[in-house]
């Protein structure tokens, strides 16, 4: 029973770490990366469709993304979606290819992206701690129902804390790597 709780905690904490990774991919660094446009969607024949399903997104050079829509009629919609996004990008169109130059990051924008990364990491830490709280509550319920002894409860609490510490360490590693990536010129 306790092993199932620990496995559940590991799975839920892994999901929190994966969500952090997705959030970090949306924070722009100085280099072009197709995942920058992951959150964008366009109106495709009346259906809200992710940009990646309506166009090919590729890296032209280290600071330029290239978006080639499957249908030429989508070019204005894609341009509009990129300009409306909070990414601060200005696309330019040449025929059916949309080029998105990424402006170099100023010190101020680097700091604001670093702050955003720290907020995302804190959110992930909170999620991990909430998982720990839930699992410890379940273990206490087992103790109250006299299904486990106090020694087993204490050992289970220690094990859950070790799992929590390991995942919070992974969050810290990811944050340090992202901040380093943001501060590179």
pTM score, two decimals? Answer: 0.71
Contacts of 83 (CB under 8 A, 6+ apart): 89, 90, 91
Shared domain for 14 and 42, answered yes or no, is no
Shared domain for 77 and 39, answered yes or no, is yes
- Output the DSSP codes for 112-174: HHHHHHHHHHHHHHHHHHHHHHHHHHHHHHHHHTTSS-HHHHHHHHHHHHHHHHHHHHHHHHH
153: containing domain: 2-26+106-183
Q: How far is CA 60 from the centre of its chain?
A: 24
Shared domain for 97 and 113, answered yes or no, is no
Closest CA relative to residue 75, chosen from 52, 96, 90, 47: 96
CATH number at residue 58: 3.30.1360.40
Shared domain for 15 and 55, answered yes or no, is no
pLDDT for 16-33, tens place per residue?
A: 999 998 888 777 666 777
Q: What distance in Å separates the CA atoms of residue 69 and residue 177, rounded to the nearest whole number?
A: 33
Shared domain for 48 and 94, answered yes or no, is yes
For the ranges 92-96, 121-125, 172-176, the lowest mean pLDDT is seen at 92-96
Measured in degrees and rounded to the nearest 5, phi and psi for residue 32 equal: -75, 140
pLDDT for 31-42, tens place per residue?
A: 777 777 777 888
More confident call, 80 vs 173: 173
Q: Any idea what DSSP says for residue 35?
A: G
Number of domains in the chain: 2
pLDDT for 124-183, tens place per residue?
A: 999 999 999 999 999 999 889 888 888 988 999 999 999 999 999 999 999 998 888 887
Q: Which of 101, 118, 145 is the last residue of a domain?
A: 101
């Amino acid at each position: 029973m306790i092993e199932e709780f620990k496995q559940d905690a590991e799975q839920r904490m892994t999901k929190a770490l994966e969500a952090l990774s997705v959030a970090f991919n949306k924070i722009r660094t100085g280099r072009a990366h197709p995942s920058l446009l992951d959150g964008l969607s366009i109106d495709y024949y009346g259906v809200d469709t992710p940009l990646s399903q309506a166009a090919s997104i590729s890296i032209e050079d280290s600071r330029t993304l290239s978006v080639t829509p499957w249908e030429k009629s989508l070019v204005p919609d894609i341009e509009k979606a990129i300009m409306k996004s909070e990414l601060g990008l200005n696309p330019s169109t040449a025929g059916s290819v949309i080029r998105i130059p990424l402006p170099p990051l100023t010190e101020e924008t680097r700091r604001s992206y670093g702050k955003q990364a720290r907020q995302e990491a804190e959110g992930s830490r909170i999620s991990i701690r909430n998982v720990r709280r839930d699992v410890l509550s379940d273990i206490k319920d087992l103790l109250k129902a006299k299904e486990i002894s106090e020694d087993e409860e204490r050992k289970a609490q220690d094990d859950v804390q070790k799992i929590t510490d390991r995942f919070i360490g992974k969050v810290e590693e990811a944050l340090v790597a992202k901040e380093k990536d943001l501060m590179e010129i």
